[in-house]
Chain A
Amino acid sequence: MKTVIVRPERCVGCLQCRLACAVEHSRTKELVGAIGEQVTPRARLRIYPGRQHLAFPNKCRHCEPAPCQQVCIAGAISRAPRGTVDIDPAKCINCAMCAMACPFGVLTYAPLYQAPDKSAVALKCDQCPDREAAGVKPACVEACKVGALTYGEWQESQQAKGWALAQAVFASLQTPQETEPSPPASISVWRRLS
C-alpha cells in the first residue's frame, strides 16, 4: 500500500501541510475559495511542537487491523480497497469512540460540508482519494518542502529509513576521535608569524 511516511527529524514545523490539507478537503479545493466557505475546511493532520526543536507531524497511519474500525459502533469506519481506513460521514454519529481507541490521537470532530445536517463528524486523513485517482501525491506531501512527509510504498520507505539509520550508525563508528577545532585562518597566520 502506498502511504505517507513521516520523518519527524526533518520537520521544521512550518504548518504548510496543514494549510494544503485543509484546502484539499474544502469544497472548492482552492485557497481563496476555501477561506470563504460556509463550513470551514479543517486540516486532517496535526504538527505538535516537540523536544530538541523537532516538530512532530501526526496523522492517521491506516493501521491494520485498525482499532478505530473495531470499536466504531455505527459501522462508519471501513477499509477501502486501496488499503486506507475511511470514515463515512453519512454514517458517523459523532460518538467519539474512535478517539478513545486511536493509539495515535489523530481524530478530530468538526462540521463537514459533505454532511450538512450534522453538527460534527469524525475527521482524519483519508490520503486524498481525489488526488490519488488523478495520480498526484497527497496534498501534505506536495506541500512539504523539507522531505518530512514522503509518499510511497511503505515497505520501500521503511527499508530506506533502515538504510539511513544503519549508515548513520556506521559512519559514527568510523569517525576519528574528536579533534580540536582548527582556529580561523587569520589566527593561524598570526601564530606562525609570532
Chain B
Amino acid sequence: MMRYVIIGASAAGLAAAESIRQWDPRGAITLISDEPHPPYSRPLLTYLLSGEVSLEKIWLKSADYFEKWGFEVLLGERVVQVAAGEREVRLQSGRVCPYDRLLISSGARPRLPGVPGEDLEGVFTLRTLADWRRLDAALPEGGEVAVVGAGPVGLKAAEALSHRGCRVALVEMESQVLPRLVDAQAAAMLEGELKKWGIDVYCNAAPRGIVEVKGQVQALALADGRELPAQVVLFAIGVTPNTEFLGNTGLAAAGGIPVNPRLETGQPDIFAAGDCVQGVNLLTGQPAYVPIWPAAVEQGKIAGANMAGADRRYPGALPQNSISLRGFKIITGGLAHPEAEDVEITSELDRHRGQYRRLVYREGRLVGLTLVGAVADAGIYFQLMSQQLPAIEPMTPGRLWG
C-alpha cells in the first residue's frame, strides 16, 4: 500500500488529496497542517473582518470530510524536517511520518518590510485565522488604522476596516493602487471609489517605521517624513514561500521550490504545489510567482494525480484576480504591463456607467485583461487566454459579439 504524505491542508493540499484518492482508492493519505483548525477559506478572512461573513461560513469542508474520504489529518503539527534519504517527515511533536510519495504544499506567509517597530503588538498581517482573531480583538472602535500595500488583500482589508467604522489610511509605495495588476485608468477609477468611502490613499509612500509610546503604536512614519496617526498597522505587501523547514535538503531556492512541469522537485518522489512553488507564467513561459487560490487548486490536482502514477503536466499559472469592494468590481488577468513591444492594447471607457475594459493582444492572441464595472464576460476572456485561441479578426472592444 502506497503511503502519501501531504504537508499543508489548504487549497493545494486538499485538491491533491482528493486527486490521489481518485487515482488510488486504497493508498494511505496523511495531511499535516500547522494550524489547529480544519481547512478554511483564506480569501474569506477579509470578508470575516468586515463582518460580511460569519465564522461558521468560512469552513471549506463538512465536519466528517476527512473520515468520509479516508484521510488521516494531523492538525496543529509543525513539520521541522524533511529527510529525503530516509523518506521521512519529522514533526515538532517528535512524531515521524514515513512516506512513499511526499507533497509539499506548505503555502506562504506575509512579508514584512523590515522597518523598525514592525514586531510591536499593534502591527498585524492577515493570512491565517489566528491573524484575524488577533486583529479583530485589537481593533479600536472608530480608531485609526494604516494599511500598507494596495494589492488585492490590502484593498479588501482597507474596505473591510472602513466598513467596521475605522478611519483608514491606505499606503502604497508605487504611484497607484493595484500597481502590478491594472493600468492608471482603472487605478484612478478605484481610487475614486476609495475616496468616496472615506479611505485616504497615500501613493508613492514608503513606510519608514512605526512610531510607538511604551509599546503602543501611535503612528506610521513615512519615508518622506509624514506621520499617519494609527493605533493599528496592517501590512499587506505580499507573501513569501514557506520553505524554512526544508533546511539544506536542496529542495528550496530563493523564490520558492523549483518544480518541473510534472510538479516534481529535485528529489525523487517529492512533489510540490501551491504558494510554496516558484511557478511559471502560462503566457510567457517565464518563471513567475503567482500565489493565487485557483492556481494552487490546479497544481494540487495535477501533483496528486502524478503522485498516484499519472503523467500530467502543469502548463503554468494564468494570473487572475477578482476584486470586489462594495459592489465595485475589477477583474484582471494575464499580463498587466507586458514589456514586449509587439503588443496591441485596446481599451474602452464608459464614464457614465463607470465601466472600463482593456484588452492586451500579442500576435493575435489575448494575453491581458482588465474589466471594471461590467465583469460578466470575464470567463469567456479567460478561456480565450488560457487556451491561447487566436482572436477573431474584429474583436475590438464592444464588438466581441458582432
List chain A positions with a Cβ less than 8 A from chain B. Answer: 48-51, 56, 67, 70-71, 73-75, 91, 93-97, 99-109, 119-120
Query: In the complex, A120 Cα to B402 Cα: how many Å?
Result: 29
Asked whether B60 lies within 8 Å of A75 as measured between CB atoms, the reply is yes
Contact B53 A93 (CB under 8 A): yes
What's the nearest-Cβ distance from chain B to residue A42, in Å? 12
Residues on the B chain within 8 Å of A96, using CB: 322, 324, 329, 331, 375, 378
* Chain B contacts for A109, CB-based, 8 A: 327, 329, 375-376
Chain A CB within 8 A of B289 CB: no
What is the 8 Å Cβ interface bit string for chain B, positions 362-388, against chain A (1 contact, 0 not)? 000000000000011111101100000
Chain A min CB distance to B40 (Å): 10
Expressed in whole angstroms, the Cα–Cα distance for A24 and B260 within the complex equals 52
Q: Which of B41-49, B163-171, B244-252 contacts A (4 or more CB under 8 A)?
A: B41-49
B332-377 with Cβ < 8 A to chain A: 333, 375-377
A74 and B41 contact, CB distance less than 8 A? yes
Q: How far is the CB of B214 from chain A (nearest CB, A)?
A: 39
- Whether B401 pairs with A56 at a CB distance below 8 angstroms is yes
Chain A residues positioned under 8 Å from B293 (CB to CB): 71, 73
Cα distance, A121 to B378, chains bound together (Å):
17
* CB contact between B43 and one of A73, A91, A108 (< 8 Å): that residue: A73
Collect the chain A residues with CB atoms within 8 Å of residue B320's CB. 100
With a CB–CB cut-off of 8 A, which chain A residues contact B329? 96, 99, 109
Bound-complex Cα distance A102 to B378 (A): 8
Q: How far is the CA of A105 from the CA of B111 in the complex (A)?
A: 35
The residues of A that contact B57 with a CB separation of less than 8 Å are 74-75, 91
- Contact between A100 and B380, CB atoms less than 8 A apart: no
In the bound assembly, the distance between CA atoms of A143 and B375 in angstroms comes to: 28
CB proximity of A163 to chain B, nearest CB, Å? 29
Shortest C-beta distance, B64 to chain A (Å), equals: 16
Give complex CA distance A50, B399 in Å. Answer: 10
Most chain A beta-carbon contacts within 10 A, residue among B44, B297, B327, B333: B327
Judged by a CB distance under 8 angstroms, whether B52 is at the interface is yes
Looking at the assembled complex, report how far the CB atom of B375 sits from the nearest CB atom of chain A, in whole angstroms: 5
Residue ranges of B at the interface with A (Cβ–Cβ < 8 Å) = 41, 43-44, 47, 52-53, 57, 60, 293-294, 297, 320, 322, 324, 326-327, 329, 331, 333, 375-380, 382-383, 401-402
Contacts of B47 in A (CB 8 A): 74, 93, 95
Chain A residue at minimum C-beta to C-beta distance from B379: A102
Residue contact A105 to B380, C-beta cutoff 8 Å: yes
Q: Are A95 and B382 in contact (CB under 8 A)?
A: no
> Given A75-B57, A96-B329, A119-B326, does the pair A49, B378 have CB atoms closer than 8 Å?
no
> Could you show 19 A-B contacts with beta carbons less than 8 Å apart?
A49-B401, A50-B402, A51-B402, A56-B401, A71-B294, A73-B44, A74-B41, A93-B47, A96-B322, A96-B329, A96-B378, A99-B376, A100-B322, A100-B331, A102-B378, A104-B379, A105-B380, A109-B327, A109-B375
Within 8 Å by CB of B383, from A95, A99, A103, lies: A103
**Inside 8 A of B382's CB, which chain A residues have their CB?**
100-101, 103
A25 CB to closest chain B CB (Å) equals 17
Q: B402 touches which one: A49, A74, A119 (CB < 8 A)?
A: A49
Query: Is the pair B41, A105 in contact by a Cβ cutoff of 8 Å?
Result: no
CB nearest neighbor in A for B329: A96
Q: Knowing A49-B401, A74-B41, A74-B44 touch, does A100 contact B379 (C-beta < 8 A)? A: yes
Looking at the assembled complex, report how far the CB atom of B5 sits from the nearest CB atom of chain A, in whole angstroms: 25
Q: Which residue of the partner chain A has the closest CB to B332?
A: A100
Chain B residue contacts of A107, Cβ below 8 A? 376, 379
